[in-house]
Amino acid sequence: MKFKLTNSNARLRAMANCAMAIGIVLSIFTPSAAADEASRQVLVRDITSVEGVRENMLVGYGLVVGLRGTGDRQQTIFTVQTLANAMQKMGVLISPGAVVVKNVAAVFITASLPAFARPGSKLDVTVSSIGDAQSLEGGVLLLSALHGPDGQVYAEAQGPLVMGGYSAGSGANRKDVNAANVGLIPQGALVERDTSVDLSGFKTVSLLLRNPDFTTAMQIADAVNKEFNKPIASALDSSRVDVNVADASTQSVTTLISRVQNLALKVHTPAKIVINERTGTIVMGGDVKLSPVSVIHGNLSIQVVTTYVAVGATPVGGVGQPGEAGAGGATGPGGDRRGNGGPETLQPIVVPETDLNATDATTQSMRLDEGANVDELVKGLHAIGTTAHDVVAILQAIRAEGGMQAELEVQ
């Protein structure tokens, strides 16, 4: 163990904080272990993509009907205009200004078109409200065209929505679970245009690395050349490896890509720490190395409380001018000379009292010796009782001091 705790209560606090969920995702690798060596072997298909073989984004606009009074309101002008246009195509002419919309909602439809999609293929589509509809639950999307970036229609979508949430009630009694304005239509779109990629025209297969790295690119090229026993692959830069199709002497480009993608190689993960301050999530690679460093962690808590205390009372009500009536009293000589309309009441006199409590927690420290790794760092931070946001601040301070040999990315 390479960290030391100087606080005598560190063990107790470590046990108490073992169950604390601080949102740290940890990836620890031990290069000397044979099992870990095997786990670091990855396939080329998992770290690269083939240039020219990709998905395309589609988007469309349409109407969801059949809602239970949770659709767009009348002030959503584009909804009633779209509804009037749809009715006109059906042979019904209506005025948009006379339409009261409650069961209809205007939506955007999005989908992803695969690289080898052909007419008749089915796609999943996502439907999202763009007006002021309360919920799309129970709705059905009317036939809508999905366009690509070039403006051409590549698919048509229609069908009932599947919701992942709901909205019920109103006002203070309203209950919302997940998003009620976004729904999914599984297999709800049909491809109308052939977008398949012709692989037979490829003279070079270019592999694009998802995480650019010069060493990994060279390893891929070496693995391909070793597989085919000839120099057919070369690494152009940190993100691209080219494979010559003619020199591979394979039956087809599909066969070549399949053989290349199933090659396994050892990937060196970069020394990097990713921090998300909004969620308190920290991801640290096992290759992160730490220099000798000491961390002191403590909490100063100041609480100001104001209370109101009664210090006396003053009489209120029942007193009037002599000879006059009080509230509900008699007038004239027969009346009460003080004009009492009833018994006197006492109103308490309240003054504020402010208490200030300051609590300074015992300072705890942790020391990391030369060669310490992420496992020891996390165990030490757990032991001194740090929260997720404390860990973020500590890691940033260690990086600024120069005690951490890794790239620190804050999201």
Q: What would the pLDDT profile of 46-96 be if each residue is shown by its tens digit?
A: 999 999 888 899 999 999 999 988 888 866 788 888 888 888 888 888 877
Tell me the range of 7-16, 29-38, 187-196 where mean pLDDT is highest. Answer: 187-196
pTM over 0.85? The answer is no
Give CA–CA dist 266/219, Å, rounded.
8
pLDDT on residue 331: 47
- What's the pLDDT band for 199 if we cut at 50, 70, 90? confident
Secondary element (H or E) of residue 395:
helix 388-401
Please state, as a whole number, how many other Cβ atoms lie within 10 Å of the Cβ of residue 16.
Answer: 11
Supply the pLDDT for residue 135. 87
Residue 359's DSSP bridge partners are: 301
Beta pairing partners, 165: none
Tokens of 242: 């080219």
Residue-wise pLDDT tens digits, 102-134 = 889 999 999 999 988 899 999 999 999 998 888
Look up residue 201 and give its DSSP letter: G
**Residue 116's closest CA among 199, 46, 174, 33?**
199
Name the band, by pLDDT with cuts 50, 70 and 90, for residue 41. Answer: confident
Give the tokens for residue 375. 């496992």
Q: Which helix (H) or strand (E) holds 80?
A: helix 77-89
The pLDDT-based confidence of 410 (bands split at 50, 70, 90) is confident
- d(CA 118, CA 112) in angstroms, rounded, equals 13
